[in-house]
Structure 1
């Protein structure tokens, strides 16, 4: 026989299974033995005992018949979540970035407690690349060696290398690795491009966490191998990743972060295996409900047999990463959930007796009513299956009405989370797994069928045993017209991923493509972002060779695992929005009517500016971190009202608009230098005037923070005016209210800078349209992301040509969203946002549904596309939104053949927001299955008062000449934060 052992080591239980994969179609699914036991503090001994139990159940099995032991564990992620200093190491972080990213240092968005444990050393070095592949600066070996000496003096054991655009061009990280390895031969080196893809901060964060757990991971994985070898097994030990595939012990020791959140994935994969062959599950997605003792995890298993991944970013221990994680919703419901009964009213959880169920539950002689007690009391037939306590202690204990209300409460909780997870209104099969799944009723709304497979209580161990092997490629590639086509390069990526999977031990004939995309990169001609992933079955004939023990593991095998100690940090955390009473918060406005911006205000602005981005403008998150860092260093940021301008200017024409131009894809990887400061100072020299006030080019998206970039005390030290030139985000520089409202207005002279010694002065252009074309042409050569400062304006031009109080509006929107989340009023997020912009006369709720289709193409530097959102109702109405970086209009249709009715169009603001958070979803983040709601908001009346303004900001400017503008409401000027809170 050829057998597999699967083990899932959880925080409470260790589940194990012995499985014959050749008998998966038989009634026992090939399961020869299984065991569930308490997780021991000595992990090695616990695994050893679990495996011995399996052999005791089937004594005729020979040890040489075991092909592999596959283990899923929560130990590594728990070390981060618990901030355990005994299991985490300090890390040195070296950025290969040239002049970029220095204002947003490593650990910028780490919780302080975790940062205090991990932050060992930070270095900014020459190096890095632009999106088109050119070097920012060459590597300086002497500089690298200087940092090596400092790291050696600090006795650090791990270093992270993060090169700008390293997922695309990784030779700088490789070059510096060789220098460090020679200078510091005993140090562990983590190269960020081997951890995750584009998104500089998120990739760096993931690499830091990976480096921090390397020592602990090595110890634990060696103990896993030791346990297996002490039993006499000579097979390889594998670890499960969070995408449902496996890693060798050797690779897992190098990239242990790959195992984060693998437990939920193991359960989903196990459920799929146990229900294979069911007609209802063929070629369809399935909802897997994993019920434990305290919580229920719900995820979507796609028709590929692998979990649906999270839409964009993931959080582990409060750290934001772009590391792929399964999309799982968790609720406080399990077999140990505490049940409270009052006059036949029943509440279930979210608190639980957890691993004390054998002491505290009624059925075990305790005095706490749990979900297990009530369920077994009315379903005595399941008692033999559950095998817990004494049935006589709960028999006839509860009235029938209690059971009915209990069932309704459990059903309501599950149906609500299932509804959130579904990708269409159509019912989906629901698979129940986990030791507590017996509390779930056999019928649920939204479920075409509810299945509880055999061995459901050890599905996670079965999923581990039956994991597959993957290979992946994620890169950006410039493909000039005379080179290979994007289709040919995509095939090349597929072959590279296939080769990687085969090298790791996949059966060549079984490999299939499960993820495939090639999206154009905005403003970068002939450049595409490619993402390919393949999976395949394990080639058992090559398994031993592909995953054999490495020499280092053999030489360090220990006799026992050793107890894992906890030394949890209690360092004070930085400010958190959750720790303040938002309803009572008042911003600081001094007696000079200056609004002094603090961290709370910045959090509100982060949320509000992205919502005002109308899908475009790029995420404000990197800019938010940059400005927050300035505030934490003691910098003063001031905002003034337009009517107070005269108190701050000595020279007419000294108020400058600033912003960034370029690709949102580039912006998340190429963090800021001092582009705006360089541009502002160059403009000042050119015109012979010193800027006295500044304001953002556009309030929507990342540009909503740009004025603060140069207003800070250590930079130009000037106030920000509460206004902007759009009241939202638009894709081109000429789509501004100044261009719409002022006669013969020009943005020249203007200056653009890439922050790396390249600054261009555009002294004069005939129109704003020409200026736009000049900037776009220059972008490609300057790295596709530049800071821009335009011609200064007078007070009269500001009054007549800008949108007033737009910073105040962004602040109010962000506060409304944050307050709704704090008060747990999530379902009323649309109305909360509408109220924040002026009420139903200003804004309108338009639609709620799931994104079911997204298409994109690149044209003249801009991403054009269309997103389709389907309503969760029997009618299956759909909303269609074309976009050009920003959303253009939205129409509602009854079916695909219906042309639809346009319900909102530019210049009205069309904002798409996540249902669960209220926060904006940018057009780059539109993704199948995302649950969103859509709002229409009236724009400034400067956009609607003249035909010229409508031509510039309406659908005609986007090429839709036949769309008639019908306003969703009437504009009401926002209330100034300064006016409301001055001397309050």
Structure 2
């Protein structure tokens, strides 16, 4: 025989199984020869040895030489981060190779305070990094590097994370600095960010820091896994499960332990899929997996592929945002050990969220304890349960029928609520129950077409570990000069390369299938594409021992040892969830200036991206920058348009400010002083100092541009509550100043990339040509610049600006967060529409799943189409985009030519169903559940033919598109007018 062992080491229990992979089609045994569930030990290696011994005691006839591999899933690493365990985490020295960039967004800016206090050991911002076209921002300065290395040595730090701008594309600078550090500090552990994650500077940096912080503990634990297996007489490789349901060698996992962070939930879902794969009623169907433990219940959606649905665009671990792929799992405080209270029989029963956890065998009533748990109440009405622990007589007739019924209904209601959130359509879905506490789940649930509890459900996580597959992934940015290889042929090459990786890792090449694939163009860089391919394949059991070897010999292969938890200092973090939004009032000072708070910034972050209509760039880096300023005492002032005259002399110098460039670049090349340097250059050229600023466009990250220059530590100048678009458009000339004014020119204007390059466009024939000049300059300046156009007068602002656009973004963001606080996610579309002006101003156009995305590059812009299939029907919506969404066409079937139901200048926003937050066009991907909302545009876009020509479908080269207004524009109510002093 050729056998497999799967072990899942959880915080409460360690589950293990022994499986014969050749007998997995058996209807009852599923190839499971033995299984065991035991309490997790303080010394993880002791627990693994005990688990292995237990398996062999059940089948003494099995020879240990027949074991092909031991696969282990563990939550130890992620728990160390979530629990802020100082004993398992170490301080990290973080070195950014960024030149002048990213300095406005300090490292650890979005870490919870308590975790930051534990992990932040040293921060250095150095020369280095690259632009997207491959040129270096600054060369590595070895003297500068050595200066930082000396400081790291003085502090005694042994973990270093290196993050170079665009290092996933050009690795040289991270490799060069790593070599210098290794020579100076031989025993240091170095994490190079390009080995951990892809494009997205802050998210990759966060992942690299967490990986570095957990590295020594992970190596110790993984080494102890190998040692425990070896001590039990098994001569086979040890594999670890990853977040995506695949496995890697223990050697690879010891270098990138972060890849295993969410393997516990994934193992349960993969195990459920394996246990039910012979059920014809579940084949080719998505199913909901409910994993009930002692303390919590995790719920995820298992796709027809047998792999979990992944989180949308970013994942969070311990409050830290990363661009690491993780399964979309919702958790609630419900488990077998959850405490039930009914102190007064006239009061309603309360369930949890606290639990007796792994002390259930001592503290529950059924086991002779004094804590009433959900298990106790379950056993009280279900004496025939196939789960047997404790003494059922202790709960028999212990509880009133009212208490039993209320507990059952409460458990049912909690589960039905979370199942409803995970469903992808109104149609009921099958529900698979796994986990040791799943006996508490009723056999009938609203939203479930059927409830299945497969055999061996209590150890599904260990089975999922044992039967995991192997993956191969390619992520790269590649220049494909014209006349060489086509992107389609290069994509095929990437697929073969990914299969090579999977085969090298131990997969059967012929079994590999592509589960993720994309090739997206990089704006402003000719013939440059970002490729992503992921394949998975069955394990080649005949090649396991040669494919997986634990190479790290730097750590003794002895017991993992007992590690006493040392929880870090509890520090209260700001959380929007702790703010009573119904009572929150923004601060308006005696001068009628709106003083921006951290709460306001949270609203802006969400609202500006929704107004971005798919474009404008993600606000997240700008949000972190401005939040950092506010937390450090900066003052940001917003004024109402009607108060402009109080701040100007004569007609005034009122400057619209904007960033210009590729959204792909913006998430990697973080801001420097582009806007400040462009403002200075223009002021020096014209001799005019700015009186006021305002964002050229409100959509996305552009909505924060006024704050970037107006903050008290920058230029200390107020920002006007207005913009020149009321949304986001892809070009500078698609602004209301062009639509409403006959005498306005963008020139003189200024452009800066904040790396010693500032340009003045002194005079130019028209604003379209100004745009073209800026775009041409972009290619040479790193494809991301700050742009300051010719200042407007007070009269011009009154004539053309979209009033109260910052107020509108604020109101939209408040509506989304309030819906989350009140658990009213299902009514998010109507809440957002109410914030925009009510049903007369907008409507929900469709709710569905993204089933296809196509992108191409043309003249520096990303053109494409996204296809969305409506929930509960076969209707489909196609949305073409040019950075921003252009129109929505609905088709009832393949033969239907379709009807355009909304188009520019109306605002078309795609909103994620689960969060209510906007999905930008760069983040469109298969499987996302979204709402499509349409809003009426500012009247400036529809009042004249000239305006419509600038902002309508023909401006995007879509001719013959009939414009059907989605609603009637309602001017947003000014926040200052509502909450400020009344005259």
TM-score normalised by length of structure 1: 0.95
Give 2:511's aligned residue: 510
Give 1:25's aligned residue: 25
CA displacement at 1:141 relative to structure 2: 1.5
Give 2:244's aligned residue: 243
User: Is 1:667 aligned to 2:666, yes or no?
Assistant: yes
Contact 1:880/1:891 (8 A) holds in 2: yes
Contact 2:863/2:880 (8 A) holds in 1: yes
CA distance in 1 between partners of 2:599 and 2:401 (Å): 51
CA displacement at 1:290 relative to structure 2: 1.6
Deviations 1:487-539 (A, max 9, x none): 22212222322222222222333333222111222333322111111222333
Contact 2:606/2:918 (8 A) holds in 1: yes
CA distance in 2 between partners of 1:633 and 1:238 (Å): 46
Q: 2:922 aligns with which of 903, 914, 924?
A: 924
Matches within 5 A, 1:607-626: 607-626=606-625
Give 2:231's aligned residue: 230
Flag the 1:981–1:396 CA change in 2: closer, same or farther, 3 A.
closer
CA displacement at 1:368 relative to structure 2: 5.4
User: Is 1:471 aligned to 2:469, yes or no?
Assistant: no
Give 1:94's aligned residue: 95
CA distance in 1 between partners of 2:275 and 2:742 (Å): 72
CA displacement at 1:212 relative to structure 2: 0.4
Deviations 1:638-679 (A, max 9, x none): 222222222222364521111011111111111011111111
Flag the 1:551–1:702 CA change in 2: closer, same or farther, 3 A.
closer
Matches within 5 A, 1:630-649: 630-649=629-648
Further displaced range: 304-313 or 695-704:
304-313
Give 1:305's aligned residue: 306
CA displacement at 1:893 relative to structure 2: 4.1
Give 2:184's aligned residue: 183
CA displacement at 1:263 relative to structure 2: 0.5
CA displacement at 1:622 relative to structure 2: 0.4
CA distance in 1 between partners of 2:912 and 2:810 (Å): 19
Give 2:587's aligned residue: 588
CA displacement at 1:547 relative to structure 2: 2.2
Give 1:141's aligned residue: 142
| SS of equivalent residue, structure 1 residue 582 | coil
Further displaced range: 421-430 or 1-10:
421-430
Flag the 1:332–1:871 CA change in 2: closer, same or farther, 3 A.
farther
Give 2:452's aligned residue: 451
Give 2:784's aligned residue: 785
CA distance in 1 between partners of 2:493 and 2:926 (Å): 25
Contact 2:435/2:459 (8 A) holds in 1: yes
Give 2:117's aligned residue: 116
Give 1:534's aligned residue: 535
Contact 1:424/1:850 (8 A) holds in 2: no
Further displaced range: 828-837 or 409-418:
409-418
Give 1:974's aligned residue: 972
Further displaced range: 612-621 or 398-407:
398-407
User: Is 1:497 aligned to 2:495, yes or no?
Assistant: no
Deviations 1:275-294 (A, max 9, x none): 23333344443332222223
CA distance in 1 between partners of 2:403 and 2:182 (Å): 67
CA distance in 2 between partners of 1:367 and 1:86 (Å): 33
| SS of equivalent residue, structure 1 residue 584 | coil
Contact 2:339/2:355 (8 A) holds in 1: yes
CA distance in 2 between partners of 1:525 and 1:375 (Å): 65
CA displacement at 1:899 relative to structure 2: 3.8
CA distance in 2 between partners of 1:357 and 1:438 (Å): 15
User: Is 1:726 aligned to 2:729, yes or no?
Assistant: no
Contact 1:339/1:369 (8 A) holds in 2: yes
Flag the 1:598–1:540 CA change in 2: closer, same or farther, 3 A.
same
| SS of equivalent residue, structure 1 residue 636 | coil
CA displacement at 1:898 relative to structure 2: 3.2
CA displacement at 1:479 relative to structure 2: 1.4
Give 1:214's aligned residue: 215
CA displacement at 1:696 relative to structure 2: 0.6
List runs of 5+ in structure 2 lacking aligned partners. Answer: none
Further displaced range: 35-44 or 883-892:
883-892
CA displacement at 1:544 relative to structure 2: 2.1
Further displaced range: 936-945 or 672-681:
936-945
Flag the 1:37–1:906 CA change in 2: closer, same or farther, 3 A.
same
Contact 2:424/2:871 (8 A) holds in 1: no
Give 1:357's aligned residue: 360
CA distance in 2 between partners of 1:149 and 1:586 (Å): 49
CA distance in 1 between partners of 2:90 and 2:908 (Å): 46
Further displaced range: 965-974 or 808-817:
965-974
Contact 1:420/1:931 (8 A) holds in 2: no
CA distance in 1 between partners of 2:763 and 2:596 (Å): 35
Give 1:683's aligned residue: 682
CA distance in 2 between partners of 1:543 and 1:470 (Å): 14
Give 2:953's aligned residue: 955
CA distance in 2 between partners of 1:840 and 1:962 (Å): 28
CA distance in 2 between partners of 1:25 and 1:416 (Å): 34
CA distance in 2 between partners of 1:961 and 1:651 (Å): 44
User: What is the RMSD computed on CA atoms of the aligned residues?
Assistant: 2.5
Matches within 5 A, 1:834-849: 834-849=833-848
Deviations 1:196-238 (A, max 9, x none): 1110000000000000011111221222222222222232222
CA distance in 2 between partners of 1:51 and 1:779 (Å): 61
Give 2:333's aligned residue: 332
Flag the 1:964–1:350 CA change in 2: closer, same or farther, 3 A.
farther
Matches within 5 A, 1:529-608: 529-550=530-551, 552=553, 556-558=556-558, 560-608=559-607
Matches within 5 A, 1:859-938: 859-873=858-872, 875-938=873-936
Contact 2:652/2:691 (8 A) holds in 1: no
| SS of equivalent residue, structure 1 residue 912 | strand
CA distance in 1 between partners of 2:579 and 2:398 (Å): 45
| SS of equivalent residue, structure 1 residue 793 | coil
CA distance in 1 between partners of 2:857 and 2:918 (Å): 23
| SS of equivalent residue, structure 1 residue 277 | coil
CA distance in 2 between partners of 1:967 and 1:690 (Å): 41
TM-score normalised by length of structure 2: 0.95
| SS of equivalent residue, structure 1 residue 639 | strand
| SS of equivalent residue, structure 1 residue 583 | coil
Give 2:820's aligned residue: 821
Give 1:127's aligned residue: 128
CA distance in 1 between partners of 2:893 and 2:101 (Å): 48
Contact 2:677/2:752 (8 A) holds in 1: yes
Deviations 1:891-928 (A, max 9, x none): 44433433444433322222222233222121222233
CA displacement at 1:411 relative to structure 2: 4.7
Deviations 1:158-184 (A, max 9, x none): 111101111111111111111111111
CA displacement at 1:846 relative to structure 2: 3.5
Flag the 1:410–1:608 CA change in 2: closer, same or farther, 3 A.
same
Contact 1:361/1:369 (8 A) holds in 2: yes
Deviations 1:541-589 (A, max 9, x none): 3322332333616x6122x332121221225344322233222222222
User: Is 1:754 aligned to 2:741, yes or no?
Assistant: no
Further displaced range: 845-854 or 121-130:
845-854
CA distance in 1 between partners of 2:889 and 2:511 (Å): 43
Contact 1:264/1:297 (8 A) holds in 2: yes
Flag the 1:447–1:582 CA change in 2: closer, same or farther, 3 A.
closer
CA distance in 2 between partners of 1:512 and 1:939 (Å): 45
CA distance in 1 between partners of 2:42 and 2:478 (Å): 48
Further displaced range: 116-125 or 405-414:
405-414
Contact 2:675/2:786 (8 A) holds in 1: yes
List runs of 5+ in structure 1 lacking aligned partners. Answer: none
CA distance in 1 between partners of 2:958 and 2:879 (Å): 13
Contact 1:425/1:871 (8 A) holds in 2: no
Give 1:16's aligned residue: 16
User: Is 1:808 aligned to 2:807, yes or no?
Assistant: yes
Give 2:7's aligned residue: 7
Contact 2:71/2:240 (8 A) holds in 1: yes
| SS of equivalent residue, structure 2 residue 830 | helix
| SS of equivalent residue, structure 2 residue 174 | helix
